[in-house]
Amino acid sequence: MATSSKFIKIHQNVLLEWIYDSDNLKTDDYQVVTDLISNKRGYMSKSGLNNINNTIFAIDPIIKKYAKIDTTKYNYLKLENYTTPYVQFDKLRLHLPTTYSFSDNGYIGLWIKIYSYDYNNKNIVEFSSFLYNDTEIGADSILVLNKEFFYDEQSWGKYITYDIPSIDAVSKQRTSSVGTNLPTTNSINYNLTKGVGISQESPIFIEFAFVVSKETVLGNTYYYLSELFKKSIAKVPEYMDLAANIVEAKDGDYFEIYGSYGGSNESMDEFIDELTAKGRKVKLEYEVSLFEENILMHTQTFVVEENFTKKLWYRPVLSFTNTTASIDVTMRVIDLVDKSQIERFASISLTTQVLKYGKTLTRLNMNNVFKPKIYNLKAPSQTQILTSNKVSDIDITKVNYPVISDRFNILVSSSPSITSEYKPMGLTEIIINPFGNVVKFNIASSVDANGTATPYDLTKITENSKITLSFKTDTEFLEKEIWQDTDQNDFENGVIVFRIEQSDVITLKKMSKSNQNFYITINSNKTGIRSMLYSGKWVDFEKVTFVDTTAAKSTGFDYGDFSDLGLTTQELQQMINNTSNFGAISMTSPNSNLIIFLKPDANVGIFENYLKGLAVNIYLKKPAGNSSTLTYFYFLLNVSPAIIEDIKTQNSVSEVIPIPFCVGADTTGTSSVNLQNIKDRVLGFNCATADRINQQQNRFNQ
């Protein structure tokens, strides 16, 4: 159906809906009334509500006094009867609040006038001057009750509606030839304007008022109106290239619902940007109605306020039908500035695929199901078949299905644990290589004091939602679903695997200029709401620097004499005695001790608040340098690579020196150590060989 609607709130309690309907073609017997005093002409249908019995004209526009059309009482009114060929009709619909009463608000009805200008844009041409009198007998039959809907925080549940000739279609009823361009003979365009025609540039003008009272004088009934409210709308639907779409997905039993502009879903963001540039902030609202055998079962509403190209996933649940069903979609573009709306419609019928959407679907329990192994079967030769029936004559080879992946342990809570390898929110960093990437996440919901992780059970989440790995900027969006072609997914134990294709790397490189975050998100199948489960950083493989630390360990590090910075023996001893943070560290840990030098003009207070926000402890803070270049340096223990990289990006930091974990040789053979050995152990000088690491570590713990 080629229809679209425009909503305008013309009064606090009156909502006008103009329905453009290119399929509403019909012939019409109509009348044209001419007011010989004002020289105005107006259209009245002989069928429907927009007829002579419901039409009024101005007796005295100053005091807003009106009367019904009656040529026997007003001899300056002239009526002409016509019949016209097929023409397009639009619908005018006036919505009222569900509980609205005219009498309670001091009125007896309402009046609305629809008009445009003639071809020369001089004279007014009326298409409707409609009166609704709530006090007349039978008025209730005009007011239609319908299903309530919400607009601008109000509930609307009844309306008045009637057809009006499409003013745009009427204005195009013209015949062109060499040197002439005239209205088509015997068309509404010709008859309504006496051969002049309707303007092709003028919009549709609307005047609205409530009927305050009526009086009868000498058999003549007069109506008095309230103040006038004036609006205008376009003759054709705004944004003709805007459309709503619903299609059945090719990769599953669900439907995709989305908007398109110019035939492209990707252009929806451009459409929204166009409105924003005009000062119109908007949101999209999708109303999805499910019908079973023409019976409305339920309606769901989805609101989209960002990422307008995102396709909604919708899966209907059919309760009783096994023959036919249908889904209707209404997409509304709601202007948050003037509260006007643009509507587009789409629908799809379900026939052969009805059985896929029954309500009795259940999740298969695969925990104890036999999982077959896959083999390659090498067919025996013809000679073997003829000479032997033994199974051993068939060569069976097992096919290995390896999955090479980077594994990351992540913690969905924000509380880090120095005794666990699980990284809390924001601290995991993944490297994207130029080829295919398979990334495996072990997700924990919490970690206890002993470093034992509790797996994050994803079973219930995957039943009702979709988990994705996402990368986004203001203009780009890349989303990867869980990779199903592997047996390494274990939802119950919080293990999920994603695959990033080589073709995706090009998109990621474009995105890296503005954002290098990755997001693990949960997308609800019911509400369409997206929630973030975890976020971290990603790094382009080509920008990673690799350092060979073997040579450094053999020759030792040389950062100068640490005593120049004002370290005392007691301070070094205090650092090395902190066995809860140093002695318990694994020698294979990727973490490092860290020395940080600040710039002379750095704000020390802000930087220390930043360190506290990273949940790291400041083990030493000392001033360094002379009075002209006075700065501060900090010494931190057990800092993760992700935090080190983040510290390097701070404007107040002058230099960051990572010190790998290493235990220095203890030549005394006792647990007491001299100052040089303490320096060696803290800074990583003269690293012991691998076969002495455990021995040295035990002695520190003592």
pLDDT per position as a tens digit, 149-173? 888 778 899 999 999 999 999 999 9
pLDDT at residue 188 above 80?
yes
User: Tens of pLDDT along 197-213?
Assistant: 999 888 999 999 999 99
- pLDDT at position 367 is 61
Does 379 score more than 90 pLDDT? Answer: no
The DSSP result for 524-554, as a single string, is ETTT--EEEEEEEEEEEGGG------HHHHH
CA–CA gap between residue 351 and residue 516 (Å, rounded): 46
Determine if residue 586 is left, alpha or beta; phi over 0 gives left, psi from -120 to 50 gives alpha, anything else beta: beta
State mean pLDDT over 99-113.
93
- Alpha-carbon distance of 291 to 330, in angstroms, equals 14
Mean pLDDT of 641-652: 84
What's the CA gap between 688 and 671, in Å, rounded?
16
Residue in the block written with tokens 């992700």:
642
d(CA 702, CA 699) in angstroms, rounded, equals: 5
Q: Which of 568, 570, 464, 573 is nearest to 525 (CA)?
A: 464
DSSP lists the bridge partners of residue 396 as 377
Burial of 137-165, coded b for 16+ CB within 10 Å and e otherwise, reads: eeeeebeeeeeebebeebebbbbbbbbbb
294-317 in b/e form (b: 16+ CB < 10 A) is: eeebeeeebebeeebbbebbbebe
Angle at 457 between CA 454 and CA 459, to 5 degrees: 165
Question: Who has greater pLDDT, 434 or 679?
Answer: 434
The strand pairing partners of 150, in sequence order, are 155
Least-confidence region, from 358-367, 449-458, 543-552: 543-552
- Pairing outcome for strands 204-217 and 229-233: antiparallel
Cβ–Cβ contacts within 10 Å for residue 229, how many? Answer: 16
**Packing angle between helix 569-576 and helix 675-683, nearest 10 degrees?**
50
For residue range 506-528, list pLDDT tens digits in order.
888 888 888 889 999 998 877 77
Query: pTM score, two decimals?
Result: 0.44
Average pLDDT estimate for 18-31 = 88
Buried b (16+ CB within 10 A) or exposed e, 671-692: eebeeebbbbbbbbbbbbeeee
Lowest mean pLDDT across 159-168, 333-342, 581-590, 635-644:
581-590
- Please say if the pLDDT value at position 554 is more than 50: no
User: pLDDT of 262-292, one tens digit each?
Assistant: 778 888 887 888 778 777 788 888 999 988 8
- Helices H / strands E in the chain, number of each: 12, 38
